[in-house]
Each structure stands twice: as C-alpha cells, then as structure tokens.
Amino acid sequence: MSPANDDGPSVLVPTGVAPYSYPCLRSLGRRGVHTVAASEHDHVPVFASRFCDETAALPSPEDDLLAYKDALLDLAAREDLETVIPVREYDAYLLSKYRDEFTDHVSLEVPDIDTLARVHDRVELAAAAEAAGVPVPETRAFDEVEDWSGERILKSRYNLLADEYVETHAPSEAEEVNNVTHVRPGEDPDREQLLAEMNHAPIVQEFVPSSDEYMFAGLYDRGEPVATFQHRQIRGNSYTGGGGVYRESTYDPELERVARDLLGELDWHGLACIEYMEHAETGEYYLTEINPRMWQSLPSTVQAGADFPYYYWLQSQGRREEIDPDFELGVGSHLLYGELGYVASVLRDDSPFVERPGLGETAWEIGESVVRQPKFDFLRLDDPRPFVSGVVQTLSKGD
C-alpha cells in the first residue's frame, strides 16, 4: 500500500483504463488536492498526467470483486484520504453496497444500495419514471413479451450483473453488460442465444423515433439538486447511438424538469448522468438510462465550466455553499478516437430503424465541427502526455 501524503488532503480516483477519470485528476490536482489514481492495469494513459500525483495498484474487479473492494478500503483507510470518486460501474456499486464500511474512513456522495438498485434495474427504473410522470419507453421483461410485431429494442436488464441483483453471481463476481439489439418487426429473438450473450434475461423496449439525443448531469444532496448540466449529443460511438463523442452544452427548461422530477422521485444522492432521446414527432424527452457515476463525456462537461469533480469534492468536504453551478452554453468538445469509431460505424453497422448517413456527409460534419469547436477531451497543450500515451497504447494493440 502506498504511503500517506503528509502535505494535505488526498482524493482516490479508481480508474481502470477509463479516460474520463482524467478531468477528475486535472480538476482537483490543479487546486492543490493530492490525487491518487488507482488501477488494475500497469499502463494507464492518465498515469502520465502531470496532475496525477500518485498511482496505486488494484486487483481486477472482473476477477474478484471483493478483493477489489478490500483494496479500495485499504487505500481509503489512509489518514490523508478524504473521499473516493466513483468512475466505473463497479465503483458505484461497491461504494453504495458497502457504504458503511467506507464511511468509517472517508466521506462519500453516493446513494444507498436500495436506491441504486432501482437505477441499475431498467425495469424498476422505468417504473420510477412512470411514477414521476415523465416519458419513458414501454419497458417489459423479456419473458413477458409474446407479440413481436412492433418495432422493439432488446437491452440488458442490468447495467451490472452482481449478487445484489441476480442469483447467478456470487458476492465476488460482477460483470458489465451493455448489449443493445434492434429487433425487426415479426422477428422472434432466440432466448437461449440471448441468455448466452447477456448471462441474464434482457428487457424489451418500444423503439422511440428520436430527432436528437441529450444528456442531463446532476449532483444531488439527499433529493435536492446542487448542480446540473445539459448537453446535446451531436455524434455518438455509432450512428445508431451510444456514448457521446461530440457534444455541445445547452439548456432546455423542459429537459431540466423531467430530469429533476425523476431524480426527486428516486430521492437521489450523489452523481447522476441521465441520457434522453427527443421524440421526433412529439418533442418529448424520453428516458434512456441513468449512470450513477462520472460519465464518458465528463471532459466536455468540465470544459463548459460545469466542474463536477470539484463539485463532488466540495460536497464531500461539507463545502456545498462554495459550488457555483453556472456553465457556458454552446461549448463543444470532441473525443477524437470516438469520432473515428463513429466513422467506422457508418461503414459497418446496420439498423432497421436508423438511416445510415453518407460517408462524405459524415466526414464533412466532423471536419466542420473540429474547425468551429477546436476543443478536445484529452488533447491538452499544457498536459499532452496522457493523450500521447493513449495513442501509443492504441497503436500497439494493433501490432
């Protein structure tokens, strides 16, 4: 275990290889908070950042979730450690499930496990949205569906398979499952194949024709919003959707309302990233999912002035009154390798519901937005090494 930092308070950022841990290190490191980045991998791009003060080794949560939890607890027990920021789904789950053990050592801004379970279970999440009176696609468990004549989407029921949610996993086992499949009308999906792919029975949702995708992010304090943010997703990992790779900050009072109504229904505490689809015909915002942790597009959020890593730190230190939740509208930022993934999806992906854009049109739109909004998630002139390290690792994987 690493020695404690004697110069001041420290924050633990368990990262895996998640690049969106970078703004956590950058935001807090430049404010004088000692940053400890921890991973099960030896070579992580964010380790190269000048804002990463210290690194620590962790076991893999995929190999043994309880060993990973115990290693986090060992680090949290250091006298200088003040809080832990949830970056991955594993972290969000463990910090909530074992919150009492962690809060013996650090302050946490996370929901209790029962509330988290309502978000991780997409059937329960849809029920919560209906109770809040906000739009949500019709959502049913796979085994409840007999008629496959409509336009449907198959999704994993749980963001994370773990013993709290399914009987197939022991306390030491967990896995992320993010499968999404578009089902053609009249096509009867193979249940056994789906179970083999997802390790559990998925959900079935109605297909919602969308004109745009949006994200609402919030930091909550026992049901009350402390800071919120919105952006419009221009491009995702794929032309059919997925995590944002180019987005622009925005604000719509109606999006704010439906998100706040849902989080109020959940009596939420901590971080929440909610993805929405704007219905192409009605303009209503339909819920896609909630991520109870830091999010993939966090770098662009911070570039717009919504510094959620710092907000999380302030709230964990009992300094909520210092949070200034204002942000700048119209700020865009690119995830460069994600843009390449979007182009690849235009070449290879297929959907019965979403029209494939032309390759020339796609290239023009990406080029135009890069010229108009030359901001990038990880390419920073004052701290270039994480980006360079990421490129080198990506290229080396192709050898």
pLDDT tens across 293-318, in order?
A: 999 889 889 999 999 999 999 999 99
Mean pLDDT of 245-265: 95
Q: What confidence score (pLDDT) does residue 176 get?
A: 93
d(CA 358, CA 214): 23
233 - beta bridge partners? 213, 247
Q: What confidence score (pLDDT) does residue 276 get?
A: 96
Instruction: Give the helix/strand (H/E) hosting 96.
Output: helix 89-97
Q: Which residues are CB-contacts of 157 (< 8 A; sequence separation ≥ 6)?
A: 121, 122, 123, 141, 142, 200, 201, 202, 203
One-letter-per-residue 3-state SS of 46-94: HHHCCCCCEEEECCCCCCCHHHHHHHHHHHHCCCCEEEECCCCHHHHHH
pLDDT at 350 over 90: no
pLDDT confidence band for 399 (50 / 70 / 90) = very low
Q: What confidence score (pLDDT) does residue 381 get?
A: 67
Q: Which residues are CB-contacts of 37 (< 8 A; sequence separation ≥ 6)?
A: 13, 15, 21, 25, 44, 46, 47, 52, 54, 55, 56
Direct distance between the N- and C-terminal alpha carbons of the chain, in angstroms, rounded to an integer: 34
d(CA 189, CA 203): 12
pLDDT confidence band for 351 (50 / 70 / 90) = confident
Residue 211, burial from CB neighbour count under 10 angstroms (0-12, 13-18, 19+):
exposed
Mean pLDDT of 264-282: 97
Higher model confidence: residue 393 or residue 127?
A: 127
Mean pLDDT of 78-102: 97
Q: What confidence score (pLDDT) does residue 2 get?
A: 47
pLDDT at 158 over 60: yes
Mean pLDDT of 373-383: 70
pTM of the model: 0.89
d(CA 197, CA 245): 26
pLDDT at 338 over 80: no
Cβ 285 vs Cβ 277: under 8 Å? yes
Cβ 168 vs Cβ 302: under 8 Å? no
Q: What confidence score (pLDDT) does residue 236 get?
A: 67
pLDDT per residue over 12-68, tens digit each?
A: 999 988 778 999 999 999 999 999 999 999 889 899 999 999 999 999 999 999 999
Q: Which residues are CB-contacts of 241 (< 8 A; sequence separation ≥ 6)?
A: 180, 213, 354
Could you tell me which CATH class the domain 10-110 is placed in? Answer: alpha beta
Please name the residue that has the structure tokens 């995590």. Answer: 243
Q: What confidence score (pLDDT) does residue 200 get?
A: 93
* Nearest to 89, CA basis, from 296, 329, 386, 234: 296
136: number of Cβ within 10 Å: 22
Q: What confidence score (pLDDT) does residue 296 get?
A: 85
Q: Which residues are CB-contacts of 176 (< 8 A; sequence separation ≥ 6)?
A: 89, 90, 159, 160, 161
The CATH number of 210-397, from 3.30.470.20, 3.40.50.150, 3.40.50.300, 3.40.50.620, is: 3.30.470.20
Cβ 201 vs Cβ 141: under 8 Å? yes
Cβ 237 vs Cβ 335: under 8 Å? no
pLDDT per residue over 199-224, tens digit each?
A: 999 999 999 998 899 999 999 999 99
d(CA 190, CA 19): 36
Q: What confidence score (pLDDT) does residue 6 get?
A: 59
Q: What is the residue extent of each domain of the chain? A: 10-110, 138-206, 210-397
User: What share of the chain in percent tops pLDDT 90?
Assistant: 66
